[in-house]
Amino acid sequence: MALRALLLTSAAVLLILIHRMSAADPSSCRAVWLFKMACSQPRAAVVEQVKAWSSRQCYDSEGEECSYQIVTEAPGYVEIKHTNLSSQKSTALNFTFKPPDVPSFCSMRGLSTTAPPGGSSPYCVLHNLVNGSGLTQEAGFREICNAAMCPSMDVTACGAA
Ligand SMILES: *[C@@H]1O[C@H](CO)[C@@H](O)[C@H](O)[C@H]1NC(C)=O
Ligand SMILES: *[C@@H]1O[C@H](CO)[C@@H](O)[C@H](O)[C@H]1NC(C)=O
Ligand SMILES: *[C@@H]1O[C@H](CO)[C@@H](O)[C@H](O)[C@H]1NC(C)=O
């Protein structure tokens, strides 16, 4: 009985989450990445990649793998800013890492919002960073994202041309 109630509650919570996610507008994107490792590792990889790309100059042909900047850093949270050098439009993005102290599981949630019109794809701004930091190759890597969560989701538009 208790289990059934729990399952029903979980299903209801999931439905509410999916509904909320589908309300996303084209200028924003949210995605979740899962890993079989402590959150300290993906967090360090993201921060290191942002720093590596902070001083690089690049343009559209290079898939914008540059011009990222750390805004705020906290143990379970990193806030970043990306600027599209062609349009000078910026994208605000952040990552939340949970749970803090589990050795073999991490859920990393990413959110991004681009100032429209003429800005970068909010999905690509997240994707390029996750891919560029090598996290897509890590143990247990899974990306949870769809067109409802990210209307701008289109990997072919993200890569270096
Ligand atoms: C994280 O980024 C999203 C999208 O840009 C923004 O809506 C949200 O307020 C940010 N979160 C925090 C805590 O700043
Ligand atoms: C950067 O902005 C330009 C001009 O608005 C746009 O055409 C281009 O697609 C953007 N770059 C990316 C990778 O989104
Ligand atoms: C991911 O990064 C690798 C290596 O930096 C690059 O060769 C590849 O094109 C990228 N893939 C996507 C889908 O962005």
Tens-of-pLDDT digits for all 161 residues of the chain?
Answer: 565 665 565 555 555 555 555 555 889 999 999 999 999 999 999 999 999 999 877 765 556 788 999 999 999 999 999 998 888 899 999 999 999 989 999 999 999 999 888 888 999 999 999 999 999 999 999 999 999 999 989 888 886 54
Which of these, 65, 56, 79, 74, lies nearest to 120 by C-alpha position? 65
- Tell whether ligand 1 has an atom less than 6 A from the beta carbon of residue 91: no
- The pTM score is 0.83
Q: Characterize 119-143 residue by residue with b for buried, 16 or more Cβ atoms within 10 angstroms of its Cβ, and e for exposed.
A: bbbbbbbbbbbbbbbebeebeebeb
Q: Are strands 106-114 and 90-98 parallel, antiparallel or unpaired?
A: antiparallel
Domains and CATH numbers, the chain: 2-20+27-153 (3.30.310.80)
What residues are paired with 106 via a beta bridge? 35
Structure tokens at 152: 């701008």
- Tell whether ligand 1 has an atom less than 6 A from the beta carbon of residue 112: yes
Q: Which residue has its alpha carbon closest to ligand 2 atom 14? A: 120
- Tell whether ligand 2 has an atom less than 6 A from the beta carbon of residue 83: no
